Amino acid sequence: MHRRYYKFNKPYGYLSQFSNEVKWKGLSQILNLPKDVYGVGRLDAESEGLLLLTNDTSINQRLLLPKNKHERCYYVQVDGKITEEAIAQLAKSVTIKVSKKAYYTLPAKASICAQPDFIWDRVPPIRIRKSIPTSWLKLILIEGKNRQVRKMTAAVGFPTLRLVRFSIEQLSLAHLKPGEIKEYDESEFKKMLHL
């Protein structure tokens, strides 16, 4: 089997899988890849940014187990002017629901930031309410529960409006526009992911 390794900038409105679902389109609508290639991890349809694609089944487990401490960096636009207290709470731990049970998130790196320079206009744009400001934060996690970032920001009182995964370890969205894909050879891909 010829192993394939890609990074992809997933646009808003697409699933992390190739098949369509009722409301959302699958990646097969914009990518034409070998049938055995699949997404590593997930970004929900409303989230954007870095998605890894491969047919190397060893990658998934090595990358997604929290004990391996692989860092994932997200830029998050939230509703309201986020406070230092909320940032401190996100960094320490918050309680979210995972499979209907309380889950305490692992410590994270969290900071308030300006809107990133690389960010593109989202289609469709987020809803804007002139009376309520928005803020951006940078969040680095070593775990990836279902809709974790959205649940975390909601838990501290600042719902997520826009979520962009920028990087996993040293593999980032740099120079990749929404819908663009880049293929890597195995050694470079694994080196950048610290595998």
CATH code, domain carrying 12: 3.30.70.580
Instruction: State the total domains in the chain.
Output: 2
Specify whether 39 is located in the same domain as 80.
no
Specify whether 83 is located in the same domain as 134.
yes
Counting Cα atoms < 13 Å in the Cβ hemisphere of 177 gives 1
Per annotation, catalytic residue among 44, 56, 79, 185: 44
Residue 53 · residue 40 · CB < 8 Å: yes
36-50 per-position pLDDT tens digit: 999 998 899 999 999
pLDDT at residue 186 greater than cutoff 80 = yes
3-class secondary structure, 32: coil
Specify whether 92 is located in the same domain as 154.
yes
Q: What is the dihedral of CA 155, 161, 164, 168, to 10 degrees?
A: 0
Q: Where residue 72 falls among pLDDT bands split at 50, 70, 90? A: very high
Specify whether 161 is located in the same domain as 97.
yes
Specify whether 97 is located in the same domain as 140.
yes
Specify whether 94 is located in the same domain as 148.
yes
Beta strands in 109-158 (DSSP E): 109-113, 134-141
Q: Which two tokens stand for residue 136?
A: 């951006």
Counting Cα atoms < 13 Å in the Cβ hemisphere of 165 gives 33
Hunting for tokens 């529960």 — which residue is that? Answer: 145
Does residue 44 have an active-site annotation?
yes
Specify whether 132 is located in the same domain as 192.
no
- Domain range for 139 is 71-168
Q: What is the pTM of this model?
A: 0.94
Question: What average pLDDT does range 128-138 have in this prediction?
Answer: 88
Hunting for tokens 């009722």 — which residue is that? Answer: 22
Specify whether 94 is located in the same domain as 119.
yes
Whole-angstrom Cα Rg for the chain: 17
Distance between start and end Cα atoms, the chain: 20
Specify whether 118 is located in the same domain as 181.
no
